[in-house]
């Protein structure tokens, strides 16, 4: 087993294990910590794909900003262990797990068939220098996708104003009941 | 495919399988959990799975192109926006009911 594949399998095991903790832990704080672990592992996966800049942005945006948002809201709520963390109902639970199994099977079949036909012999594209790759990415973002990029900025502004307006309804979080 | 080959040569299919696994786990969390915040976390997991697919296809495309990595930025922006609005909605529920259970969402209308 080469070092590259060993690294991939360690990162994949960390990602899937943390994802399992996210959906199984009954204490939301544990869920958020496991989610941070999953984000960091995904950043490692990006790095193993030679996407260095995306890995850095993943660390800053997800493991930094989004996780801080989640943890702040959790601490604001002061939640204890949930008595009933999962939805009740045996029949509906069975249908939910069955539908997840169906979707998982469809995705697995799609991956299997596409890799058999298209990508089995395709080698990886030649790796370029990290600086060159980041420059290419910047060219794409600021030339080809410039309009989408600006639209994303406008969207973020609208979302920020909307979130503040939404959480100010009825006098803030600590309003008297 | 011999098992030794699959262990030695990590390729596109490895990343796609990991992404499918992560997406399915996130979907399971969205369907089964009752806490709004944990549901939002599961959605983040699903979006991350999609990001892995984008980057893997960008790496293993026959001609080197970075379009997949550019898409990851848009997915991240949407994910951050979705987390902000979802958490604001969760605060609204918490203010009314002192709990963030998904079943209280139906009382928010009006």
Predicted local confidence at residue A85, as pLDDT: 61
Q: Which CATH number fits domain A1-82: 3.30.70.960, 3.40.50.300, 3.40.630.30, 1.20.120.1200?
A: 1.20.120.1200
> What is the average pLDDT score of chain B?
84
Q: In this complex, do B38 and A96 lie within 8 Å of one another by their Cβ atoms?
A: no
User: Which residue among A20, A70, A86 places its CB closest to the CB of B32?
Assistant: A86
Residues of chain A contacting residue B43, judged by C-beta atoms under 8 Å apart: none
Give the CA count within 13 Å in the CB-facing half-sphere of A10: 10
Predicted local confidence at residue B74, as pLDDT: 93
CA distances (Å), A26 to each of A92, B38, B93, in order?
Answer: 20, 10, 20
Residue B4 binned pLDDT confidence (cut-offs 50, 70, 90): low
> Among all residues of chain B, which has the CA nearest to that of A76?
B91
Q: In this complex, do B79 and A66 lie within 8 Å of one another by their Cβ atoms?
A: yes
Q: In this complex, do B70 and A96 lie within 8 Å of one another by their Cβ atoms?
A: no
Q: In this complex, do A23 and B28 lie within 8 Å of one another by their Cβ atoms?
A: yes
* More confident: A126 or B9: B9
Residue B11 binned pLDDT confidence (cut-offs 50, 70, 90): confident
Predicted local confidence at residue B108, as pLDDT: 66
Q: Write out pLDDT tens, residues B21-75.
A: 899 999 989 988 888 889 999 999 999 999 999 999 888 877 767 888 999 999 9
Residue B8 in this model has a pLDDT that exceeds 80: no
The alpha-carbon gap from B106 to the nearest alpha carbon of chain A, in Å, equals 16
Predicted local confidence at residue A84, as pLDDT: 63
Predicted local confidence at residue A1, as pLDDT: 62
Q: How many CB pairs under 8 A join A and B?
A: 234
Burial class, B107, CB count within 10 angstroms (exposed 0-12 / middle 13-18 / buried 19+): exposed
Burial class, B106, CB count within 10 angstroms (exposed 0-12 / middle 13-18 / buried 19+): exposed
Q: In this complex, do B16 and A111 lie within 8 Å of one another by their Cβ atoms?
A: yes
> CA-CA distance, A10 to B77, in Å (whole number)?
28
The alpha-carbon gap from B108 to the nearest alpha carbon of chain A, in Å, equals 12
For domain B3-108, the question of CATH label 1.10.10.10 is answered with: no
**Token couple for B72:** 């990851």
Domain ranges of chain B: 3-108
Q: In this complex, do A23 and B42 lie within 8 Å of one another by their Cβ atoms?
A: yes
CA dihedral B100, A77, A28, A161 (to 10 degrees): 80
Closest CA to B41 of A55, A32, A82: A32
**Averages of pLDDT over each 10 residues, chain A, 177 residues:** 84 94 89 93 92 92 89 80 66 83 83 63 64 86 91 92 81 51
């Amino acid at each position: 087993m080469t070092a590259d594949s060993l690294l991939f399998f360690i990162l994949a095991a960390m990602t899937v294990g943390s994802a399992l903790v996210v959906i199984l832990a009954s204490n939301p704080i544990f869920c958020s910590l496991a989610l941070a672990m999953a984000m960091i592992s995904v950043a490692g996966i990006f790095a193993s794909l030679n996407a260095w800049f995306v890995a850095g942005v993943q660390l800053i945006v997800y493991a930094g900003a989004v996780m801080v948002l989640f943890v702040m809201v959790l601490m604001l709520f002061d939640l204890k262990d949930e008595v009933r963390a999962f939805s009740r109902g045996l029949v509906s639970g069975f249908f939910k797990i069955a539908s997840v199994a169906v979707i998982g099977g469809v995705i697995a079949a799609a991956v299997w068939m596409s890799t058999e036909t298209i990508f089995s012999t395709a080698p990886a594209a030649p790796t370029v220098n990290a600086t060159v790759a980041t420059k290419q990415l910047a060219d794409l973002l600021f030339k080809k996708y410039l309009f989408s990029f600006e639209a994303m900025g406008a969207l973020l502004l609208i979302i920020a104003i909307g979130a503040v307006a939404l959480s100010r309804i009825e006098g803030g979080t600590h309003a008297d009941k | 495919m011999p098992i030794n080959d699959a262990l030695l040569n990590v390729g596109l299919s490895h990343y796609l399988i990991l992404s499918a696994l992560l997406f399915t786990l996130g979907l399971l969390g969205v369907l089964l959990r009752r806490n709004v915040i944990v549901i939002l976390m599961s959605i983040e997991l699903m979006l991350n799975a999609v990001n892995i697919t984008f980057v893997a296809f960008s790496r293993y495309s026959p001609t080197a192109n970075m379009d997949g990595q550019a898409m990851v930025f848009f997915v991240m922006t949407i994910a951050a926006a979705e987390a902000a609005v979802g958490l604001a909605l969760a605060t609204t529920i918490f203010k009314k009911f002192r709990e963030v259970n998904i079943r209280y969402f139906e009382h928010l209308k009006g």
